[in-house]
Amino acid sequence: MVRSRDRSRRRPAYRRRPGEFYWLWIAATATYGVGDVVSTIAFLRYVPAIDEANPVVRVALESFGLSGLVALKIAVYLVMLWISVEGAREGDRLLYYFPPVLLTATGAYLTASNVRLLWLS
């Protein structure tokens, strides 16, 4: 069997290695989706003297409350998921891996930052 070098004929990475795809996005969901949201909610509830530092998140919270925060997170998550899937379809490894890795790193940092500030207050 001859493997095609034509990327348009190869199966996307998420079909060739579905376990990898799922674990990348489970990590992103755990840190960015759950960790950051839960720690932000705890921080806002228990330390009301300090406001949200991110202006986009602050506007979402002021306009729509916690549902605005969750909706914003879901929107960012879905856009990043779309970029990753399109990257896999195009055979672009950077676009495939970068979104879940970025969300995981960002979520881990923001969760740790929120927990640290919550602990110090």
Spans in the chain with pLDDT lower than 70:
1-9
What's the pTM? 0.85
Short-list 95, 111, 93, 99, CA closest to 33: 111
Domain that holds residue 100: 13-50+80-120
pLDDT of residue 48: 81
41, exposed or middle or buried, with CB in 10 Å at 0-12, 13-18, 19+?
Answer: middle
CA nearest to 101, candidates 18, 26, 37: 26
pLDDT at 16: 84
**Domain-located, residue 8:** no
Tens of pLDDT, residue by residue over 97-114, are 999 999 999 999 999 999
The DSSP secondary-structure symbol of 49 reads T
Q: Which residues contact 93 (CB under 8 A, 6 or more apart)?
A: 13, 87
Total domains present in the chain? 1
- Residue 115's CB is within 10 A of a number of other CB atoms, namely 15
Looking at residue 12, what is its pLDDT?
82
